[in-house]
Amino acid sequence: MPRKVTTRTPKEHELSFEDVGALIKQGSAKNIIICAGAGISTSAGIPDFRSPKTGLYHNLKKLNLDYPEQVFDIDFFRRRPEPFYQLAHELYPGNFDPTVTHSFIRLLHNKGLLLRCFTQNIDTLERRAGIPEERLVEAHGSFAGNHCISPKCGTVADADSTEEVIKKQGIPRCKVCKALVKPDIVFFGEGLPEVFFQRMNDFRHADLLIVMGTSLQVQPFASLPDRVKLDCPRLLINLEEVGDFSRTMDVVKLGSCDDTVKELADICGWSEELIELHRKTQSRNKSKQSFDTDSENVGAEGDNKVDASEVVTELVDKLKGTNL
């Protein structure tokens, strides 16, 4: 059942959700920045990190870790890479398809309206939706690349061979120095990608900011919405209110990302385009899936969708009995 979508009632002189749609439809918003979090991927079956009972951190609490985030701690990874790679095996790109929200962001790009998409997600679903790399800022890195973690080496690892090792539940090693190979996702204790800071100037040029599916708890990403000009409209799409969206030009729309972008597309007159684009995206990814996997693992629409929340729970239960 779709989640109920509600909108905070605007005060006098404030924008409404419909006003934001009108800005896009009328061409007043030509440089749109997206700030996206895990909430745009949950309908693909990927759990977010902090949701009670279903988030990754909730399930990882069951492991013998000092704290659940430790699985993404670089020092812990150097000592015990096994928990991370067990998790990576289940969450590796290719197991999930882009959501309607990803397709909406792609549609903004197709129409020449997307200035940049800043994402906290490491799942590469923005890429799989067809959003060009030059329009993306993967603030916390992604599974798209891999490298040797030895400071003396740092060799870029071959993506295909690394993926093959991970999918066989192995631990990839550098072919040059035999040190650990790690996907290019940002662990605690590591710096953010340079491109994150190089693109900060984008916010000065934004004429609409859309923040969706994020708890805005992790800095410095959490401070990004404050970088746009005071007269720049800001739309928050989320299941609950987060951050400080109290400016006159702010709109808060509470509900699922997918349902809300469908509503926004309808206001813009793009409903059919969004449906068709998403259909093509799903078809393209399923075609690639059928090429990469045995035919018996790929069935009708929805048959091969993975619920990673259940997968992670099963994985954690399995790991509890090991000496990792």
232 is in an annotated binding site: no
Beta strands 32-36 and 208-212, pairing class: parallel
* Percent over 70 (pLDDT), the chain: 77
239 has binding-site annotation: yes
* pLDDT tens per residue, range 133-170: 999 999 999 988 999 999 999 999 998 899 889 888 88
38 is in an annotated binding site: yes
Q: Is 120 annotated as a binding residue?
A: yes
Residue 312, pLDDT score: 39
Q: At which residue do the structure tokens 């906290």 appear?
A: 120
pLDDT at position 75 is 93
Residue 250 counted as an annotated binding residue: no
- Candidates 121, 119, 185, 93; CA nearest to 147 is 185
Known catalytic residue at 278: no
Residue 302 confidence (pLDDT): 36
| Percentage of the chain exceeding pLDDT 90 | 61
148 labeled binding residue: yes
Q: In what order do the strands lie in the sheet with 114-119?
A: 6-7, 250-254, 234-238, 208-212, 32-36, 114-119, 136-138
| 177 marked among binding-site residues | yes
Domains of the chain (ranges; CATH) run 6-140+194-318 (3.40.50.1220), 143-185 (no CATH)
**What pLDDT is recorded for position 150?**
95
Convert the pLDDT of each residue in 189-203 to its tens digit.
Answer: 889 999 999 999 999
Torsion of Cα atoms, 141 then 219 then 112 then 41, to 10°? 60
Return the residue matching tokens 């993926």: 163
pLDDT digits (tens, 9 = 90+) for 54-92: 445 555 655 667 777 788 899 999 999 988 887 787 677
Q: Looking at residue 7, what is its pLDDT? A: 57
Is residue 122 annotated as involved in ligand binding?
Answer: yes
Please give the pLDDT value at position 60: 61
Annotated binding-site residue? 117: no
- Cβ distance 60 to 67 under 8 Å? no
Residue numbers of the chain with a pLDDT score lower than 70: 1-13, 47-64, 90, 93-94, 285-324
Tokens matching residue 274? 């969004």
Q: Are 26 and 282 in contact (CB under 8 A)?
A: no
Catalytic residue among 140, 147, 205, 278: 140
